[in-house]
Amino acid sequence: MSPMLFVDGLLASGAIALALLSLNAREVFTSIVLFVCLGLLATLIWARLGAWDVAIAEAAIGAGLTGALLLAARHRLREPTSRDDTPAARRPHVS
């Protein structure tokens, strides 16, 4: 079944490409974003290989929670005052 083989090739090479790009990204933020994308692609690969339970878990944890965790940590590692919990230290939101 050659069309499916094409899909397989795309998924696998896409995963390799995303891993490579994520590891070589110029900024940490891009690295995180590309990792989240890799998680999404991994979800597709698990689904393709019949690992449906794993696909659901990966969609929830790999693509959702890990990304949020990494972004939250990046925020706290960057902010100038890391411990003083004063409201002034909080940043306004995108509006």
Ranges within 8-27 binding another protein (CB under 8 A): 8-23, 26-27
**Alpha-carbon gap, residue 84 to 95, rounded angstroms:** 25
**Alpha-carbon gap, residue 80 to 95, rounded angstroms:** 22
User: Measured between alpha carbons, how far is residue 17 from residues 37, 52, 53, 68, 90 in Å?
Assistant: 11, 24, 25, 22, 37
Q: Write down the least CB distance from residue 89 to another protein, Å.
A: 10
Scanning residues 31 to 90, which ones bind another protein (CB under 8 A)?
Answer: 31-77, 81-87, 90
Q: Write down the least CB distance from residue 7 to another protein, Å.
A: 5
Task: Give the interface size with another protein as a residue count (CB under 8 A).
Answer: 87
Q: Write down the least CB distance from residue 2 to another protein, Å.
A: 9
Contact 11, 46 (CB under 8 A): no
